[in-house]
Amino acid sequence: MELRPILSTLRRHKLTATLLVLQAALTCAIVCNVVFMIANRLQRISVPTGIAESELSVIPSASIEEGENPQARHAADLAALRGVRGVQSAVAVSYSLPLDRSESSSGICPSKQALDRAMQLNTIEGSGCMQPAVYDGTPGLVGTLGLHLVAGRDFRPEDYVSQGKPAVAIVSRALAQHLYPGKQALGQSMYDGDNYIRIVGIVDRFLRPNLRSPGVDEDSMIWPQLPPGSGVLYVLRTAPGDRARVLQEGSAELLKLNANRLISAARTQTYEEIRAAYFQRDTTMIGLLLASALGLLFVTALGITGLANFWVQQRTRSIGIRRAIGATRGDILRYFQTENFLIVGVGIALGMLLAFLLNAELMQHYELARLPLFYLPMGALVLWGLGQLAVLGPALRAAAVPPVVATRST
Amino acid sequence: MFGYYLDLALRSLKRNKVLTALMVLAIGLGIGASMTMITVLHVMTNDPLPGRSATLFTPHLDPLPLDYKHRSDGPDPTDNLTWPDAMALLEAHLATRQAAMAGGSLLVRPARADVRPFRVDGRYATADIFAMFGISFEHGQGWSAADDASRTHVVVLGETLDRKLFGNSGGIGQVVRLGEHDFRVIGVTADWQPQPMFHADLSAQSFGDADQFFLPLTAAVDLKLPTNGNQSGWGKDDAADSMTSANMSWLQFWVQLQSPGQVQAYRQFLLDYSAQQKALGRFQRPPTEAKLYSLMGWLAHRNLVPTDVRLQLWLALGFLFVCIVNIMALLLAKFLRRSGEISVRRALGARRRDIFLQLGIESAMVGVAGGLSGLLIAQLGLWSVRHRPDDYAQLAQMDTSMLLGTFALAVAASLLAGLLPTWRACRVPPALQLKAL
């Protein structure tokens, strides 16, 4: 294909071609960054929690009976809930579940020296101590949540305390590694202020209720403390198909047992709803980002088609002349395709530069990571493909112009 | 002449209906996306108390020890005041009106058997809150400073809660059980729901429901009622009661100042107070840490707009810009294709200005149509925003100023898009084109 005629034609339409290049460049820059943001959000919302998400449901219950022993109330409630058809197991937790937002955390140190260092620095940062999320719960928590114990043992009945701090704990693998890098964590004693807590078990993965940063999101520990307050979350494990019914029957059962309690209907939900609520902003954002990326590509395709249409109409006579002096339909088709390839190509080159500038700006203001290089060739391919698709219609129309047009005057 | 140009523009646009529709659609999409996001931003940065906000200020002190390290992901303790500081500011009585307050959520145990117990959100406050914020009463009135001093168990209910508890007869003079204590109802306010809830603690929901009860802060502290805001403590505390501790901040404080002189005087007072506390050894940081925020300044400081929403706005504006470039290219191609026609008009005596006007009208027509479709698309966008569960989503409505703004933006955008092509077309040299005809 001879490029010179194309270039000289484009020189005569400098302003229009420049605008098209500019549009392709902006689209390339924005779409590359938007797709990158979508990928980031997708990664964020697919974070694993380590629990059997599809089999869990929760009923929040807060007793308002005055002068009642809360732990006796929980035991009675749990007995009733286990009697509901379809409930495989049930436990009560007082603080939270992964991604349930309200979090109880505690400064935990691997050794006395680290604790002293933290006291001296007046912060746990840089002391070797960590701030894991702390989960409590009634016996059977590990099994009900479906946590995967990779070392050590589950709690024994004698481990549980109803008041004060327990002497043992199960930690997530991430916390074990962060507290005791390169060492065997099982059996170590962690310092929680003046108390020490022995690690008796390690679970594969257990996410925090509230995400902080990817490095510490899996730092959590469970200790065998029975929920002390009147407000608890009853966690029920059932087959996925039983969840809706069990939630309904379970709430009714609890109210039948003792009506003097508050059960928030809005928070009586499956675990999947808790998860969806946590990432709701991200899902909204993904939808919006996707819509704007598609919108941009659509508008750019419209622009290319519209402009190509004009140019074909404008050049009908010269196309006819070219046909008359021997150009084939394929030559004409390829002419318009190459022209589009060139324009979009210049746009892409400029767009890649803009993409990096935009990325740098976003990194500064919106905590976005650096755009990986492989997004650029992918963006280029998408834009080239889109350009070819958009120009195909007008180019085919151009190829269909009969040579006889050359003999007519406009 | 104007009518004639309008007619010409219509003819020209009709000649290529598909292309015209595409241009209108492109500008509509850009305008629609931008206006949706601008409206969301607009409602989130709204003035919650128009007409009154200019006189409201919130003082902030820094009682933190020098070695206190603020966790970047945690709340800032200096966003709120401690009990001793709040009481000192209250007793100084230097502002026209002043009130300390904190949010609380209490269990209501209705006397009526047909209403189950439920929780309501309300505010513990001092007497001036009603007059200062302009909360209007349906019945009865607020409590007095004397009630504050004597920690009287009285309560002012919101209209909705009053109706729920006492039906149409109203609850004035009745007793309502909140938590474990009885309070006598002395007033009923119209539901007061500033958006955003500028007076609430940062950790509370910023765009939420109205406060459903108000009761004296002193009574709340006396009864150790639970608060639902953030309580930040520091240092070793030896006070038995943490609510009145000098090392825990949890109170919001607002003052009403009528004149710039008064504002200046109050600022000086805060500096003096901090210096005095520092001299006494209670404060360790320099007195210049004391700040007085205006209401809107405080909202800006709190930065209620999530970064996501800002990002969405930039994205939408970027989208609009690409749309404008798109229209620009299409109009340019379209106008240049009519070089022959333009040349004939020029040769027959039309001035450049006439051509400019004619083509300008044509691009403005595209803009008006694009604006109309953009308005539709924005309404669709806002409708979908309102269906999101975010707390601010319910507020996403367009008011008249936003409607007009949308339209102005659309026309401005398309005129801008039309400017370059129109200018280029005006410069078509007539003789050259005529020769080619």
**DSSP 8-state assignment for residue B202:** T
pLDDT higher than 80, residue B436: no
Residues of A with Cβ-Cβ distance to B306 under 8 angstroms: 281
* Least Cα separation, residue A110 to chain B (angstroms): 21
ipTM for the assembly: 0.79
Interface membership of A289 toward B (CB under 8 Å): yes
Residues of B with Cβ-Cβ distance to A296 under 8 angstroms: 319, 322
Question: Could you tell me the CA-to-CA distances from A247 to A61, A85, A139, A231, A264 in Å, in that order?
Answer: 12, 11, 21, 17, 12
Regarding beta strands B248-256 and B81-82, do their DSSP bridges make them parallel or antiparallel, or are they unpaired?
A: antiparallel
Question: Could you tell me the CA-to-CA distances from A156 to A65, A167, A192, A342, B179 in Å, in that order?
Answer: 31, 12, 21, 72, 38
**pLDDT digit string (tens) for A101-143?**
878 888 889 988 888 888 887 777 778 888 899 999 999 999 9
Rounded-to-10 torsion of CA B346, B350, B354, B355: -10
> To probe the interface with B, which of A41, A217, A302, A366 has the most B CB atoms within 10 Å?
A302
Token digits of residue A393: 């219609």
pLDDT higher than 80, residue B435: no
Do B318 and A64 lie within an 8 Å CB cutoff? no
- Closest-approach residue (CA) in chain B for A67: B180
* Least Cα separation, residue B100 to chain A (angstroms): 27
DSSP codes joined into one string, B216-227? EHHHHHHTT---
What is the SS3 assignment for A240?
helix
Token digits of residue B50: 């128009």
Asked if B132 contacts B98 with a C-beta cutoff of 8 angstroms, the reply is yes
Distance CA B136, CA B190 (A): 6
Q: Which of B37, B321, B29 is nearest to A30 (CA)?
A: B321
Q: Please identify among residues 53-92 of chain A the ones whose CB lies closer than 8 Å to any CB of chain B.
A: 64, 66
> To probe the interface with A, which of B23, B107, B322, B433 has the most A CB atoms within 10 Å?
B322
- Contact residues for B157 (Cβ-Cβ < 8 A; gap 6+): B165, B171, B176, B185, B187, B188, B189, B212, B213
**What does the radius of gyration of chain B's CA atoms come to, in whole angstroms?**
31
pLDDT higher than 70, residue A344: yes
Backbone angles phi, psi at B99, to 5 degrees: -150, 140
Candidates B322, B333, B388; nearest CB to A296: B322
Interface membership of A184 toward B (CB under 8 Å): no
CA B193 to chain centre: 13
pTM of the model: 0.81
Interface membership of A311 toward B (CB under 8 Å): yes
Asked if B327 contacts B23 with a C-beta cutoff of 8 angstroms, the reply is yes
CA B126 to chain centre: 26
Q: Where are the domains of chain B?
A: 2-45+306-436, 53-302
Residues of A with Cβ-Cβ distance to B437 under 8 angstroms: 410
**pLDDT digit string (tens) for B114-141?**
778 888 889 999 999 999 999 999 999 9
pLDDT higher than 70, residue B73: no
Do A64 and B311 lie within an 8 Å CB cutoff? no
pLDDT higher than 80, residue B373: yes
Q: Where are the domains of chain A?
A: 4-45+281-407, 53-276
Q: Tokens 């609380």 label which residue?
A: B104
Sign of CA dihedral A188, A192, A195, A200: negative
**pLDDT digit string (tens) for B324-339?**
888 888 888 888 888 8
Residues of B with Cβ-Cβ distance to A289 under 8 angstroms: 315
